[in-house]
Amino acid sequence: MPLVFHEEQQRYHIPSTYYLPPTNFTPEEALSLIVLCHEFGDGAGLPFFGPARSAAVKLESALPGRLRDQLRGLAGAVSIQPVPRNSLGGRQGVYEQLLDALAGRRAVRIRYESFTEGEQIRTKLSPYRLLFSRRSWYVIGRSSLHRATRTFNLGRIGELEILDETYQIPRGFSIDRYLRNAWHLIPESDPDQEVVVRFSPMVARNVAEVGWHKTQRVAFADDGSMEYRVTVSGLNEISWWILGYGDQAEVLQPPKLREMVAQRAERMAQRYRG
């Protein structure tokens, strides 16, 4: 039978007598699970953390005393600092309703605080996927208001009602095909554009060390500066990333993005001068 889970409540809709067969873990596998679950604390907002932590506790308690002490010592020697994330405070019910809607292929009606429209909107949504990316949970699906597939942040859904209306996910739909080359989660309808940014020597190597995007290419100059090239489906998301590097980054191409960043930098300067 299919397993339909409600991860935030850490419970499964399967018979209580159902258990997996015993599994042999290597010390490295046991250490990785125990360390991750200890380091992520209460795991608020992290997908699948509840069941993982429960599994780690069971695993640790079943280890021989000597091995358990050894792994605890190693776990205490490792630290992991996750990025800040949306804990979905007060939105767990929305998350669970969306899981139910996805399981039954039922449309939902939502009230949403839209930053794009600058106001609250109401739309009927046919959810295709739940996605946890970087810091937050998102739902991707077809919106009746926009007559297109859109991305919605769960933390900004104010009301949600599951409808009796059913739907079908389009054949061939995939997250990668929908996102195209979006910098993060919001692809724009314009054709893809190549972006070229010059980073100063102070930050160049830090930027180059990270795989920010699947299309990125870097080239260093003799003075230590670096040209960063990437092909993106939309300029708005990447503009805010570039602005985060302040005067250590300069947009070379395309002109539209250069002007966009310059205007925002000028408004920022005016605010501080004011």
Query: Exposure pattern of 188-202 as b/e (b: 16+ CB <10 Å)?
Result: beeeebebbbebbee
Q: Supply angle C-alpha 233, 238, 242, rounded to 5.
A: 155
Reported as a single tens digit per residue, the pLDDT across 111-131 is 999 987 778 999 999 999 999
Q: Are 109 and 142 members of one domain?
A: yes
Is residue 187 situated within a structural domain? no
| Rounded-to-5 percentages of helix, strand, coil across the chain | 35, 25, 35
Provide the number of structural domains found in the chain.
3
Is residue 104 situated within a structural domain? yes
Of residues 206 and 64, the one with the higher pLDDT is: 206
Could you list the residue range(s) of the whole structural domain that residue 60 is in?
Answer: 5-76
Q: Are 165 and 216 members of one domain?
A: no
Per-residue pLDDT band at 184 (split at 50, 70, 90): very high
Is residue 82 situated within a structural domain? no
Is residue 183 situated within a structural domain? no
Reported as a single tens digit per residue, the pLDDT across 49-98 is 777 778 888 888 877 787 777 777 776 677 666 666 666 666 778 888 99
Beta strands in 115-213 (DSSP E): 119-133, 136-143, 148-153, 157-166, 193-199
Is residue 179 situated within a structural domain? no
Structure tokens at 54: 């429960």
Q: Are 42 and 98 members of one domain?
A: no
Rounded to whole angstroms, the Cα distance separating 187 from 173 reads: 15
